[in-house]
Amino acid sequence: MHPRGLTQRAGQRGFTLLEVLVVILLIGLLAGLVGVTQVDGGGQQARRETERLRSLVGLLRQDAMLSQRDYGLRIDQQGYSVQVLDLDGEWRLAPGYRPQTLPDSLRLDLQIGENGATLGRARQNRAPQLLVLSNDEVTPFTLRLEYRQKPLYALSSDGLEEVRVEAL
């Protein structure tokens, strides 16, 4: 005859508190390592924003040709907005396009044409600096995307060809 405590103890199966704590510690360490490896220093974020801008200009070119309307991009260091030229000749925010604000670590630096007019010269006027016309022409430009004041990518167009992306 076995004492009651021995049969219950032999039949119990489970984890001790120490085993549970060790597993929690290991999970915490692994999660920390995964978090460290996913920090990219803004490179992926800058790449996504660059692709978003390239796609936006392409979409505006198509939309301008199909709708026979002229669009413009108003760009400043912190973001950009899409504008449309209305029937009165005034630039208005384009319906269907929200103004975009970049994260604090990203900045835009726009140069227009070959003479290199920059953002600073166009600040007084709220009209868009980059025009996307219904005849499929775009203002020639170079737009640099900077992460913490270090240029990472440049988008450029001669006004006729598709926008090119270059890693800097």
- Reported as a single tens digit per residue, the pLDDT across 92-110 is 999 999 999 999 999 999 9
Strand partners for 153: 145, 167
CATH assignment of 43-167, among 3.55.40.10, 3.30.360.10, 3.40.50.1360, 3.40.50.300:
3.55.40.10
Are residues 50 and 37 in contact, defined by beta-carbon separation less than 8 angstroms? no
148's CB contacts (< 8 A; 6+ apart) are 42, 105
The pLDDT of residue 137 is above 90:
yes
Residue pLDDT, tens place only, 17-70: 888 888 888 888 887 776 555 555 678 889 999 999 999 999 999 999 999 999
pTM of the model: 0.71
Are residues 147 and 141 in contact, defined by beta-carbon separation less than 8 angstroms? no
